Structure 1
């Protein structure tokens, strides 16, 4: 039976993301989600038909959690498109990833789980591909410098930075992530 309390559903999805980030996909059980959310045992199973649905919906919810704030987007969208404005956007993305470390780590866990489950793989691929295509469209329609390959290359560089900074930060040593973002933007995004 699917419950319709959106606040409870959101709390369960947030708990699922925390479980994924801290215990991995194997630790993601209805019982673990209930415990993390502080709700009675059996609650999560009332909201999600099975574990695969919980994983898929947690994956979609990660993207919601990592969405830029409306205030930032209002300011960002009124500025002139430029390499500098791209830099501002990438620094905001880095800030959001750092602020929601569990969200990004859960997304990494979902990617690994997708390799074992074709249904999860198809859905996660669609979600991430759609997000990337939205970013390409916004970049091109916004008049930012560069083309599709600029956005894809920047996406790949940033996801590599996130992977290292969040999982094995000592690999980067004393390199400042913000300075690395600046170098990536300067290297990948052409001047106006």
Structure 2
């Protein structure tokens, strides 16, 4: 059956909203149809089963969470430093808050993966690739810190993001700017001043 790519994307975006709002138990093909405002049975024409829907939702959330290449390029024009890393972490939090549904949907997928070995294997593959890409980006950009420091920063930011999404009142007494700045300062070593010869 011929399928419309724009309709598929709209259905996946609807599935993300269902996951974020109703949890994994609420995610059915019928619920996706209702959220997307399409006739019953439409989603079943695009996704063979719920497992396939979950897999494609995972891919779509990653697309939505990927930073804009042009905006990232502008940010990376700054000199490599702790300050630049702090800026990148703030931008990450802004993206999370700007697309809360995608991140909540991904949390639901993580929980679903504890009950579905095949989904857990896929999530592990996806997140491993993502972490490796983050490490490579950090090191290739000449930002301070080694591989282990990047992993520690990833874990710390992941915890901050989960709390900010699920129990924002917990961190309310602590200014976010200060938390992120302290996190970067404590995890990453100070940058070594470059000599004029090194800059040329």
Unaligned regions of 5+ residues in structure 1, if any? Answer: none
Matched, 1:16 2:15: yes
Once residues 186 and 65 of structure 2 are traced to their aligned partners in structure 1, the CA distance between those partners, rounded to angstroms, is 25
Once residues 89 and 104 of structure 1 are traced to their aligned partners in structure 2, the CA distance between those partners, rounded to angstroms, is 18
Partner of 1:75: 74
Partner of 1:119: 118
Change (3 A) 1:145 1:20: same
Partner of 2:198: none
Where do residues 1-192 of structure 1 align in structure 2 (5 Å cutoff)? 1=1, 3-192=2-191
> How far 1:186 sits from its partner (Å)?
1.3
> How far 1:12 sits from its partner (Å)?
0.8
CA RMSD, 1 decimal: 1.2
Once residues 179 and 29 of structure 1 are traced to their aligned partners in structure 2, the CA distance between those partners, rounded to angstroms, is 41
How many residue pairs were aligned? 191
TM-score between the two structures when normalised by the length of structure 1 = 0.95
Q: Which runs of 4+ in 1 moved over 4 A?
A: none
Range moving further from structure 2, 101-110 or 68-77: 68-77
> How far 1:158 sits from its partner (Å)?
0.6
Range moving further from structure 2, 11-20 or 68-77: 68-77
> How far 1:70 sits from its partner (Å)?
2.4
Q: Which of these two proteins has the greater Rg computed from alpha carbons?
A: 2
Unaligned regions of 5+ residues in structure 2, if any? Answer: 192-200
> How far 1:150 sits from its partner (Å)?
1.1
TM-score between the two structures when normalised by the length of structure 2 = 0.91
